[in-house]
Structure 1
Amino acid sequence: MSRLKVLFIFVDGLGIGPADPATNPLCSPQYPCLARLLANAVPLDACLEVEGLPQSATGQATLLTGVNAAKQMGRHIEGFPPPALKKLIEHENLFSKLRKIGKQPTFANSYWTTDPHRIPPRRQSVTTVMTLSALGHVRGRNELLEGKAVTHDITRWTMHARGYDGPLVTPETSAGHLLDVAEENDFTLFEYFLTDRAGHSGNPELVSRSLENLERFMAGLLSFSEQPNCLLMLSSDHGNIEDGS
């Protein structure tokens, strides 16, 4: 029997909103794949039994450690994890736990660098902290250009500002690259956070672009779940983009 392979798509700021197309862009007929996936979603309480507005750092840390990070820290923490939360991630992260039982995890996102030590500690996300702690490296420029990684924006459209001078790729092409990565690993994680940025921006064009790319990308990944012993997972840390009110 072939070993189980898991492809985990983490989408920042993607919630289950009301079925009202006037306020919820996810109700648009433009996104049938996302609608199908969300129709089968299991709602969770992003507040994690802690008062206040759910935030990315503690929400993501909870998903990727199994520890209620908001309760552990005594508050919700946004953005990049501070030192105390970093320690929790380094000690309890999913990648390290998988490696201890002989599994091979990987983070499929690419950084536009050839040296992970050039990522400033204060700019390391939850996923970056976990990956560097458990694996000691991240995918960089070389892996991206070889089709062995995917940028956080799926199509590379934000990367020119960071020095990338190559062509854009389609969401379908990036989905193919991610499937290739997932084929070589037991657990593959990809993070997409432009949904959260778009939700905060209030810019309808950015909301539409981020959802259209995600729609096409996810449609290109559905074949993974149709293979024997393959599990495709979609999750988020809190809502945002579904609330256009």
Structure 2
Amino acid sequence: MSGIVWLALDGVGHPQDAPDGSVWDQPLGTLRPLVDAGRCLDATLGVPGLPQSGTGQACWLTGRDTVRVMGEHFGPHPGPTLQRLLQAEALPVRLAQAGGRVALGNEYMPAYFHALESGAGRRNRMGCFPFAFRAAGVPLNPPGVPLLGATLGLPYARPWAGVGEEGAALDALARHGAALARAATEVDLLALDLWFGDLLGHAGTPDVPGDALAAGRSYLRRVDALLSGLLGAGARVVVSSDHGNLEDLRTKGHTLARVPFAGAGVDLGQPGNVVQAGQVLSGWFGLPAPLPGA
């Protein structure tokens, strides 16, 4: 199978586990039906503590229970142990080794590359997705791909201006989705690391800040528009998330919520957790699942 676009949400728990009045409680004409028709997955893997992006994303990317490997939920960035696993077993790495074509559609600014270079020899500050795609031997900001910022046009930090005047932004994102669908015909896997949902989720407080709720709802509307453009152009699409956070803005931290696994033009199978779903992903490309206990 080829031409799959992977929208990898970060920190967006399933609507079934969201409280009333959450970011999910709004019209999302493309995203919500897709999520409702998909799977609702466990992200805790039976390990105490709150799921984290490092191990959560590594589970998706490798199909291995990286929480058990680490002995705990770990993140946000992969340390040496997870880096070794990603270098050896991440989906883009294995696909590239098998002769497949992979690309990460995120747009990275010069400051990002400067921070990576200036941090040489220190703790890794790169997330699992850019780390895995670089380990596959492909560049960030790949040529020929319509690159997209993970904020989807929202400001990175407060004030999240423009939430009430987003019509033009939604139209632009739908067109961008169509452009990504066309680019995906040239590769086997085109991923987008949509990490901004987790950042917005960390703005939560017990009284649910109104600006964070408005921004979170706007962000999901933007994901909805992007998805609409992708599907309207005939793309095969998968939507995932690594852990809960944004769906419950009553708390600043991550949550124990289950996470979505949804798709169009793909067979989701019957996974119950994020590890099994990662194995489903690799199976689409004919790659074997990890050996038990390896």
Residues 99, 20 of structure 1: alpha-carbon distance in 2 compared, 3 angstrom cutoff: closer
After superposition, the Cα gap between the structure-2 partners of 1:115 and 1:79, relative to the gap in structure 1 and judged at 3 Å, is closer
Letter in 2 for 1:223: G
SS state of the match for residue 218, structure 1? helix
Shift of 1:92: 1.1
Structure 1 segment 1-245 matched on structure 2, within 5 A:
4-18=2-16, 22-29=20-27, 31-113=28-110, 116=113, 119=116, 120=119, 122-139=124-141, 143=143, 148-155=146-153, 157-158=155-156, 170-202=172-204, 203-224=212-233, 226=234, 231-245=236-250
How far is 1:232 from its partner? Answer: 1.1
Is the 1:15–1:236 contact (alpha carbons within 8 Å) kept by the matching residues of 2? yes
The answer (yes or no) to whether the contact 1:49–1:71 under 8 Å persists in 2 is no
Which structure has the highest helix share of the two? 1
Alpha-carbon distance change, 19 to 176 in structure 1, aligned in 2, over 3 angstroms: same
Q: How does the TM-score come out when normalised to structure 1?
A: 0.81
| TM-aligned CA distance change 1:101 to 1:26, over 3 Å | same
RMSD: 2.7
Aligned residues: 226
1:162 maps to what in 2? none
Runs of 5+ unmatched residues, structure 1: 160-167
Instruction: Pick closer, same or farther for the CA change 1:21–1:125 going to 2, 3 Å.
Output: closer
- Give the SS at the match of 2:148: coil
| Cα drift, residue 50 of structure 1 | 1.6
**Distance in structure 1 (CA, Å) of the matches to 2:18 and 2:98:** 45
- Which residue is 2:267 aligned to? none
1:194-237 Cα offsets, whole Å, 9 max, x none, are 1112122122222122122112111111125x4xxx52111111
Identical aligned residues as a percent = 27
Q: 5+ residue gaps in structure 2? A: 158-167, 205-211, 251-294
**Could you say which residue in structure 2 is the equivalent of 1:164?**
none
Structure 1 Cα separation of the partners of residues 155 and 192 of structure 2: 17
Tell whether the 8 Å contact from 1:25 to 1:242 is kept in structure 2 after alignment.
Answer: yes
Q: CA deviation at 1:111?
A: 0.8
Q: Distance in 1 between matches of 2:181 and 2:155?
A: 20
Q: What amino acid is the match of 1:100?
A: Q
